[in-house]
Amino acid sequence: MLLREVEYAKPGSVAEALELLAANDGARALAGGQTLINVMKARAASPDMLVDLNGLDDLTGIELAGDGTLTIGAMTTYTELMGSAEAKARPILGEVCATIADVQVRNRGTIGGNVCSNDPTNHLPPLMVSVGARMTIAGADGEREVSAEEFFLGVYLTAVGPGELLTRISIPAGKKDGFAAVTLGADGTCIANAAATVNGSVRVALGCVDAVPVIVTAESADGVADAVRAANLEPPSDVHASSEYRTHLAEVLATRAAQEASAR
Amino acid sequence: MDVTVTVNGTTYERDVEPRKLLIHFLRDDLDLTGSHVGCDTGNCGACSVIVDGVLVKSCMLLAVQANGASIETVEGLAEGDELTPLQLAFNEHHALQCGYCTPGMLMSATALLRENPSPSEDEIAKALQGNICRCTGYWNIVEAVKSVAK
Distance CA A52, CA A7 (A): 11
Q: Quick check: B54 and A107 CB within 8 A?
A: yes
**Burial grade of A218 (CB within 10 A; 0-12, 13-18, 19 or more):** buried
> What average pLDDT does the segment B114-129 reach?
97
Residue B45: DSSP 8-state: -
B98 at A interface, C-beta within 8 A = no
Q: What is the CATH number of the domain that holds B20?
A: 3.10.20.30
What is the chain A residue with the closest CA to B24? A1
Contact A227, A204 (CB under 8 A): yes
**Looking at the structure, do residues B98 and B64 belong to the same domain, yes or no?**
no
Distance CA A235, CA A9 (A): 39
- Asked, for residue B80, whether it belongs to a domain, the answer is no
Q: What is the CATH number of the domain that holds B108?
A: 1.10.150.120
Distance CA B108, CA A10 (A): 28
Query: Which CATH number is A57-171 given?
Result: 3.30.465.10
- Asked, for residue B33, whether it belongs to a domain, the answer is yes
Residue A72, SS3 per DSSP: strand
The helix or strand, by DSSP H or E, that contains position A144, with its residue range, turns out to be: strand A142-147
> What average pLDDT does the segment A38-57 reach?
96
**Looking at the structure, do residues B71 and B99 belong to the same domain, yes or no?**
no
Q: Quick check: A38 and B60 CB within 8 A?
A: yes
**Looking at the structure, do residues B138 and B115 belong to the same domain, yes or no?**
yes
Interface-testing mutation among B52, B60, B115, with chain A (most A C-beta atoms within 10 A)? B60
Range of the domain at B142: 85-148
Among B75, B100, B128, where does a domain finish?
B75
Residue A192, SS3 per DSSP: strand
Mean of pLDDT over chain A: 97
* Phi, psi torsion values for A158, nearest 5 degrees: -130, 180
CA distances, B82 to each of A130, B34, B86, B87, B93 (Å): 53, 16, 11, 10, 18
Percent of chain A, pLDDT > 70?
100
Rounded to a whole number of angstroms, the distance from the CA of A125 to the nearest CA of chain B is: 22
Rounded to a whole number of angstroms, the distance from the CA of B94 to the nearest CA of chain A is: 24
Chain A CB contacts of B130 under 8 Å are: 101-105
pLDDT digits (tens, 9 = 90+) for A217-233: 999 999 999 999 999 99
Among B49, B75, B101, where does a domain finish?
B75
Distance CA A147, CA A144 (A): 10
**Looking at the structure, do residues B109 and B144 belong to the same domain, yes or no?**
yes
**Looking at the structure, do residues B108 and B71 belong to the same domain, yes or no?**
no
Of A2, A37, A105, the CB nearest to B130: A105
Q: Quick check: A102 and B129 CB within 8 A?
A: yes
Distance CA A31, CA B8 (A): 26
Give the CATH superfamily of A177-263.
Answer: CO dehydrogenase flavoprotein, C-terminal domain (3.30.390.50)
**Looking at the structure, do residues B7 and B64 belong to the same domain, yes or no?**
yes
> What average pLDDT does the segment A168-195 reach?
96
pLDDT digits (tens, 9 = 90+) for B39-97: 989 999 999 999 999 999 999 999 999 999 999 999 999 999 999 999 999 999 999 99
Residue A1 banded pLDDT, cuts 50, 70, 90: confident
Contact A119, A36 (CB under 8 A): no
**Looking at the structure, do residues B44 and B104 belong to the same domain, yes or no?**
no
Rounded to a whole number of angstroms, the distance from the CA of B37 to the nearest CA of chain A is: 9
Chain B CB contacts of A7 under 8 Å are: 18
What is the chain A residue with the closest CA to B112? A103
- Distance from chain centroid for Cα A222: 27
**Looking at the structure, do residues B18 and B71 belong to the same domain, yes or no?**
yes
Give the N- to C-terminal CA distance of chain A in Å, as an integer.
47
Query: pLDDT at position B45, please?
Result: 98
Distance CA A132, CA A174 (A): 10
Residue A204 has pLDDT above 90, yes or no: yes
Residues of A with CB under 8 A from a CB of B: 1-8, 33-34, 37-38, 41, 50, 52, 54, 101-105, 107-108, 186-187
Chain A CB contacts of B60 under 8 Å are: 33-34, 37-38, 104-105, 108
Of A3, A38, A186, the CB nearest to B19: A3
Q: Is A142 left (phi over 0), alpha (psi -120 to 50) or beta?
A: left
Distance CA A125, CA A51 (A): 23
Q: Quick check: A103 and B42 CB within 8 A?
A: no
Q: What residue ranges in B16-145 does DSSP mark as E strands?
A: 48-51, 54-57, 70-72
Q: How many CB atoms lie within 10 A of CB A49?
A: 18
Distance CA A177, CA A169 (A): 17
Q: Quick check: B19 and A102 CB within 8 A?
A: no
Q: Quick check: B18 and A37 CB within 8 A?
A: no
Give the CA diameter of chain A: 54
Rounded to a whole number of angstroms, the distance from the CA of B147 to the nearest CA of chain A is: 21
Q: Amino acid identity of A250?
A: A
CATH number of this structure's domain A7-52, picked from the four choices 3.40.50.1820, 4.10.520.10, 3.40.50.1100, 3.30.43.10: 3.30.43.10
Chain B CB contacts of A3 under 8 Å are: 19-21
Give the N- to C-terminal CA distance of chain B in Å, as an integer.
44
- Asked, for residue B136, whether it belongs to a domain, the answer is yes
Of B19, B41, B55, the CB nearest to A104: B55
Residue A139 banded pLDDT, cuts 50, 70, 90: very high
Instruction: Give chain B's radius of gyration (CA, Å).
Output: 15
Instruction: Give chain A's radius of gyration (CA, Å).
Output: 18
Q: How many helices (H) and strands (E) does chain B have?
A: 5, 5
Q: Quick check: A3 and B60 CB within 8 A?
A: no
Distance CA A93, CA B36 (A): 33
- Distance from chain centroid for Cα B44: 12
Residue B28: DSSP 8-state: I
**Looking at the structure, do residues B93 and B111 belong to the same domain, yes or no?**
yes
DSSP A43-93: TS---SEEEE-TT-GGG--EEE-TTS-EEEETT-BHHHHHH-TGGGGSTHH
ipTM of the complex: 0.97
Among B75, B100, B129, where does a domain finish?
B75
pLDDT digits (tens, 9 = 90+) for A6-24: 999 999 999 999 999 999 9
